[in-house]
Chain A
Amino acid sequence: MDAVVFEIGLALGLIALVGLVSEKFRFSVIPFYIIVGMAMGPHMPHFGILDFRFIESYEFIEFMGRVGVLFLLFYLGLEFSISRLLKSGKSIVAGGAFYVGLNFVSGLLLGWLLGFPLKETMVVCGIMTSSSTAIVAKVLVDLKRTANPETEIIMGMIMFDDLFIAIHMSFLSGLVLSGATSVGAILKTSVFALAFILLFIAAGRKFMKYIDAALEIKSSELFLLTVSALLFITAGLSETVHVAEAIGALLIGLVLADSVHGKRIEHMIVPFRDFFGAMFFFSFGLSIDPMSLGGAVGAAVIGVLLTIAANSISGMIAGKIAGVSNKQSANIGFTLVSRGEFSIIMASIGKAGGLLPVLQSFAVVYVLILAVLGPLLTKESKAIYMLTKAVGAKFRRAPQE
């Protein structure tokens, strides 16, 4: 047991170190947490007493990672608001639908190309359709684009994407985690999960008064404990009715988002999301054999190309619908390319369901490429747009000359 505390300390130290390094180079920290996890994983060689593999603490770190998913999804729920989405306007809903549709189709295409079975393909679709809210928001703030008109379209579309993530995850949890094999059984569990979600939200709305009153707690300590209790109990109860605990966390987040205490909860939960979220990415890395990544590179590269294509097209369509300039439309597509936390969560569902391990390797390489490439594409979207325009003009002019 003595080694556990030290190992966790070592893990945190390494996570913090790579985090600082990636921050310095202005990269997203998420892939770096995964990489350092991989480097410390049980698959790595060890040299006598210099054993950096996290053997004793593995289970504990894994549990903290599991808690990380709960906090990540709880936060997603808190940030999401259906009324906000409806308020955001038709153009965003239409643009978001195209975005989700095209990316989903590119997932189907990749799954088919790789000859994946249905379950694996569905997970791939999830991985490829989950934009990283964290990376996108950070890049837009860094590039000082928050005031640009297309930014509100981008963030609206991300909200739509978040809605997709929620629905797809509940579908996946029915498909992958329940162990159902026949189409009927899969459909039944998925519908059940969806019904559970809707019922839960409806109940939450109905009892909002009482929730608000119950959370009228002055002491921040007791407030924190009450909210955490709500989160863990809901997640745990969901598990017992065969709805993934992550969905439970998302649900309670969605319900509490409408509470008058929403902002206070959000504020309070952020450090937990950051801490346990980092542990999640680290533990995801731990579970991956770095040697297996090579086999996923080809698939990931095709996936990346498909994603960039799907994003460019859907960005253009969304921009057209919203009535912004072509240059701004290019910004939309390229900004949304970044992939991160939710793709990894999708992959971890595949892992929990015992699907092909190549899914995890694929997710790591795919997220790694797009978490680095996405911000670069966002930054240079104007240059890329000008370049493609110039090339296009050349091609169009060529036959006449």
Chain B
Amino acid sequence: MLVKEIDLPGIGRKFVMETKAKGKMIVIVHDNGTRELYIPDPADPDERLSVGSFTDDESRKLAGIIGGMAYKPKALENLDIEIDDLVIEWHRIDPDSEWIGKTIGELKVRQTTGVSIIAVVEKEKKNIVPGPDFRFVGDSVLVIAGERQHIKLFKELLAIKA
């Protein structure tokens, strides 16, 4: 991807990004810390449309969100990390899932799906590598590891409502 940088003396610095979708995104970093986003105006090629203006603080937040850094697995439905064939994902259990109240051993999770549960994050406590007698509770987040097709199977089973 091409990023062009241009000095705007007295104003700040301009960054022009050509995106894969053949779009253009222009970021102006003002000397006073304000960042502005612009896109070309589809109605008038000579003009630029302001997308938004952000303070220094807001820009950092925005950058974190876009860059995937402002991530909190607890608050999210799922997140995945892939290392070759190994996939690690985060999944939340619905409070009305069939799994609630049952143990890992009863459900034979690994035998039936091939997926290992690495950790279960509940509201109050974290269970790292839970044993077969671990009992599921609602609204907890499961951190699982396995291959793609195994994870797919796991998700199908997890989705069955009680």
Contacts and interface: CB of A to CB of B under 8 A. Distances in A.
Interface in A45-102: 79-81, 84, 87-88
A145 B11 contact: no
19 contacts: A80-B9, A88-B7, A133-B9, A134-B10, A144-B50, A146-B8, A146-B14, A146-B36, A147-B26, A147-B48, A149-B46, A151-B8, A151-B11, A151-B14, A152-B14, A156-B9, A158-B9, A159-B9, A328-B46
For chain A, give the interface size range.
20 to 34
A377 to B, nearest CB: 17
A147 B28 contact: yes
Interface string A306-345: 0000000000000000001101100000000000000000
Interface in B24-64: 26, 28, 30, 36, 38, 45-48, 50
B6 interface: yes
Contact of B46 (A79, A155, A325): A325
B51 to A, nearest CB: 10
A155 B8 contact: yes
Contacts of A152: 6, 8, 14
Interface of B: 6-12, 14, 26, 28, 30, 36, 38, 45-48, 50
A155 B10 contact: yes
Question: Chain A contact residues: over half helix, strand or loop, or mixed?
Answer: helix
A158 B11 CA distance: 12
A400 interface: no
A48 B116 CA distance: 94
Contact of A84 (B7, B11, B38): B7
Contacts of B6: 152
Contact of A158 (B10, B28, B48): B10
A359 interface: no
A148 interface: yes
A79 B36 CA distance: 21
A148 B47 CA distance: 6
A150 to B, nearest CB: 8
Given A146-B14, A325-B45, 12 more contacts: A134-B10, A146-B11, A147-B26, A147-B36, A148-B48, A149-B46, A151-B8, A155-B8, A155-B9, A155-B11, A158-B9, A325-B46
